[in-house]
Amino acid sequence: MTGLNRRDFVSRLAATGAGFAGLGRAAEAGLLGTPPADAYGRLRSDPDGLLDLPEGFSYQLISRWGEEMDDGLLVPGLHDGMAAFDGGHGRVVLVRNHEVGIDSDPSLGAFGPKLERLPRVDPAMIYDVGRAGAPCLGGTTTVVYDPKTRKVVRHFLSLAGTGRNCAGGATPWNTWITCEEWTQRANETCAADHGWCFEIPASGRQHLAAPRPLRALGRFNHEAVAVAPDGRCVYLTEDRNDGIFYRFVPREPGRLAAGGRLQALVIDQQPSADTRNWIDPATELPSLKQGDRMSVRWIDLDDPESAGDDLRFRGFEAGAARFARGEGIWTGRDAVHFACTTGGVARLGQIFTYRPSPHEGLELEKDAPGSLELFVESEAGGIIENADNLTVAPWGDLFINEDGIGTDGIVRVRPDGSLERFAMVRASDSETAGICFSPDGDTMFVNIQHQGLTVVIRGPWMKKA
């Protein structure tokens, strides 16, 4: 595999500098944007009834729930968060989550409907083997794809025994952080506590990752992760209607298992602020308006392993801001963008933009703090319904997966905040998930969750330098 390993990454930190520093000026200069007049146009009806796309775009199914993989196991169902990595020799390595729990139908797991394939896996490589021989069925799979031949080279289970792996995030040192959206304690069914993040190498070599929880990143209802370009900070969302927004400052960038500080975002001069805008529009005004930008600071959180799943309560009481179901998050060129799925007056979702300090995570950041902006808030009858997973295209556009009631799809958000429908699922009411681009930006990958499908999308992308 090509790309950065951890040693190369750490050796380049000095050259990276502040990571985000100076990128805000690039955004203001218009270097990241797509002119609002650019549009992909109306969607074409898919004759196969799966996915409508604009003229000139096409899709290919490359992986399906229940297929046999190269390790003799089966592709699990409920595909969710995902990222694409450079696999060398023109190949792409996809690491993909599966939101399957211990109480799910066994046919959704990798081991077969009667767990008949479970003996193929070393029990030491399964995080939670369960109390009665039935392990947790979530985890990750890895797909090695060749864009030239348009074929899957190999696919295999890469993490076993975790539960409800919803989203996660890619790191600059070529690993995937997968997150459990589940805080089940060990009980008569589970043999281990859940609510953790796990790190998976983005390698095309068939293997299972050692199932070691990253305990310092906190135990809560994790959704997704975004890592600063220099690895100095990790940002985490919490999928709760009363969640908070987290930052992890590692002792050593590139080595999350070595520990660090878990923190929560506080809006300056507004302790325990409520960003959700949950009001009666007939009688009240929302507390935040689209475009509002606020200075922020960060507070340390004690006891990140939180046996009582109370980090969000303790953080809010200490002054942290409250968010409505923080879900997808991605590092852009100048900022971190994250979705709050049920935020807003209409409860149809919000997208926030966090612009880090030039001294992010360091003592000097108090003199030049970061800021938080309400970038987009969905309205009734609007284009986005309940934003979930998201990604930043290499040229600056945001692409959003929807998880609303009824038909869902993909929405494009330009850097100026204007919106455009990009795709619509026609086969079912399933959410789309795991949206990401190949490293060269030529190929989009996305999952259709309920059918357990991974799709490649190609077309005339409007790339801007």
Query: Using CA atoms, how far apart are residues 117 and 240, in angstroms rounded to an integer?
Result: 35
Amino acid at 178: T
Could you report the per-residue pLDDT of 90-132, keeping only the tens digit for each? Answer: 999 999 999 999 888 999 999 999 999 999 999 999 999 999 8
Domain count, the chain: 1
Is residue 298 within 8 A of residue 193, CB to CB? The reply is: no
Amino acid at 123: P
User: Does the pLDDT at position 415 exceed 50?
Assistant: yes
Q: Residue 89 class from Cβ within 10 Å (0-12 exposed, 13-18 middle, 19+ buried)?
A: exposed
Q: Would you state the pLDDT for residue 26?
A: 31
The CA R_g of the chain, rounded to the nearest whole Å, is: 21
**pLDDT band at 218; cut points 50, 70, 90:** very high
User: Does the pLDDT at position 383 exceed 90?
Assistant: no
Using alpha carbons, list the distances in angstroms from residue 465 to 26, 268, 441. Answer: 11, 35, 12
Could you report the per-residue pLDDT of 233-246, keeping only the tens digit for each? Answer: 999 999 999 999 99
User: Does the pLDDT at position 10 exceed 50?
Assistant: no
**Shortest CA distance to 294 belongs to which of 324, 325, 273?**
273
Q: What is the CATH number of the domain that holds 103?
A: 2.120.10.30
**pLDDT band at 284; cut points 50, 70, 90:** confident
Is 151 among the domain residues?
yes
Is 1 among the domain residues?
no
Mean residue pLDDT of the chain comes to: 91
Q: Would you state the pLDDT for residue 5?
A: 52
Residue 31 belongs to what domain range? Answer: 6-458
Q: Would you state the pLDDT for residue 75?
A: 98
Is 253 among the domain residues?
yes
How many other β-carbons are positioned within 10 Å of the β-carbon of residue 65? 20
Is 383 among the domain residues?
yes
**pLDDT band at 81; cut points 50, 70, 90:** very high
Annotate 68-121 with three-state secondary structure.
ECCCCCECCCCEEEEEEEEEECCEEEEEEEECCCCCCCHHHCCCCCCCCCHHHC
Cβ neighbours of residue 14 closer than 8 Å, sequence gap 6 or more: none
Could you report the per-residue pLDDT of 176-186, keeping only the tens digit for each? Answer: 999 999 999 99
Is 454 among the domain residues?
yes
Is 439 among the domain residues?
yes
**pLDDT band at 1; cut points 50, 70, 90:** very low
Could you report the per-residue pLDDT of 336-360, keeping only the tens digit for each? Answer: 999 999 999 999 999 999 999 999 9
Out of 32-46, 215-229, 332-346, give the one with best mean pLDDT.
215-229
Is 260 among the domain residues?
yes
Region of poorest pLDDT, from 32-41, 159-168, 381-390: 32-41
User: Does the pLDDT at position 22 exceed 50?
Assistant: no
Q: What is the mean pLDDT of residues 368-392?
A: 92
Q: Would you state the pLDDT for residue 132?
A: 86
Residue with tokens 């939670």: 128
Residue with tokens 């997208």: 351
Where is pLDDT greater, at 73 or 384? 73
Query: Using CA atoms, how far apart are residues 264 and 277, in angstroms rounded to an integer?
Result: 20
Where is pLDDT greater, at 427 or 340? 340
Report if pTM > 0.75: yes
Is 208 among the domain residues?
yes
Q: What is the mean pLDDT of residues 12-37?
A: 37
Could you report the per-residue pLDDT of 185-203, keeping only the tens digit for each? Answer: 999 999 999 999 999 999 9
**pLDDT band at 37; cut points 50, 70, 90:** low
**pLDDT band at 15; cut points 50, 70, 90:** very low
Q: Would you state the pLDDT for residue 33?
A: 39
Q: Would you state the pLDDT for residue 360?
A: 97
**Shortest CA distance to 111 belongs to which of 208, 178, 248, 191?**
208
Cβ neighbours of residue 208 closer than 8 Å, sequence gap 6 or more: 121, 122, 125, 157, 158, 159, 160
Share of the chain above pLDDT 90, in %: 82
Strands 222-227 and 197-201: unpaired
How many other β-carbons are positioned within 10 Å of the β-carbon of residue 283? 6
Q: Would you state the pLDDT for residue 214?
A: 98
